[in-house]
Amino acid sequence: MKLVAVDLDGTLLDPEGQVSKENAHALQEFDSQGGIVVLATGRSILSAKKVFAQLQLSGYTLASNGAYVARVEKGEVKEILKSYVISKDTVQTSLRLAMNAAVTVVASRETQDDRIFFEKESSSVDSPYYAQFNLKDSSAEELMRQIESGEISYFKLAFTDSDTSKLVKLRAQLEKHKINSSYSDKYWLEVMSDGVNKGAALSFLTHYLSVDLDDVLAFGDQENDLEMLKTSGFAVAMENAAPAVRKTANKITKSNEESGVAYVLNEYISE
């Protein structure tokens, strides 16, 4: 395998949001032997950069579920290869639907994540995934004004609530407006620009790097990893993966709590 594409939450990262020594060592060895490391994540570019810095590796990222494709060196973006912002109409419609559903929104741009509470009592989910955002609390009215004027645009919209039934209903409403969404976790429903997903971004990157998709090893655990797993030459699901992901994969490895990425990746590393 020439390239490894790895999801972060629930895959490379443990339940506390950390990279285990085993996983870090496996990726470092793969890199030292000429392999290309790609972090494919629903997280923003800010978070992807931090993980690369922790790994002390350079490589590529498919951040915000593939909406932001970039080369990263020493924890800094050296080249943006592709980026896709969500259309103004989709953002406005999604925010209105989220307001009606009374769920929290985290809207990601390159340098910041805007959080909007539409209901004062709306409870946030305390998780490592939430901790990665560079949050600024904003009012819906002010953001709507800035979106309408074109002052700001977003790579990804994330909707979250501890009451998952709200997210199910919100997804149905989004579908009625022909807005596609995917889960990165049972508490996180996400929207990107039309046609943007990790699989499409992986296809773009491999073409750019002249790497055959058959030479790609991919790891994932959630619905937003499905396109990437289907696109790659060999797909690996974590033991803790969602049923649809496990069904799609060529192989199931150990859980993210047991360094499942290293367990498989070590098979492709020369002694």
CATH 3.30.1240.10 fits 88-191, yes or no: yes
Question: For residues 9, 70, 85 and 91, what is the CA-based torsion angle, rounded to 10 degrees?
Answer: 20
DSSP assignment letter at 224: G
Could you read off the pLDDT tens digit of each residue along the chain, which spans 271 residues? 999 999 999 999 999 999 999 999 999 999 999 999 999 999 989 889 999 999 999 999 999 999 999 999 989 999 999 999 999 999 999 999 999 999 999 999 888 889 988 765 555 666 667 777 778 888 888 888 999 998 999 999 999 998 999 999 999 999 999 999 999 888 999 999 999 999 999 999 999 999 999 999 999 999 999 999 999 999 999 999 999 999 999 999 999 999 999 999 999 997 6
Instruction: Kindly give the interhelix angle for 164-176 and 88-101, rounded to the nearest 10 degrees.
Output: 140
Query: How many whole angstroms separate alpha carbon 53 and alpha carbon 271?
Result: 25
Spans of all domains in the chain: 3-83+196-268, 88-191
- CATH for 3-83+196-268 (2.40.50.1070, 2.60.40.10, 1.10.3720.10, 3.40.50.1000): 3.40.50.1000
Please state whether the predicted TM-score (pTM) of the whole model is above 0.75: yes
- Cα distance between residue 29 and residue 148, in whole Å: 48
Domains 3-83+196-268 and 88-191 share a fold: no
Starting at the earlier edge strand, list the strands of the sheet with 76-83: 76-83, 68-73, 59-63, 36-40, 3-6, 216-220, 234-237, 251-252
For tokens 């989709």, what's the residue?
A: 90
Does residue 184 sit in helix, strand or coil?
strand
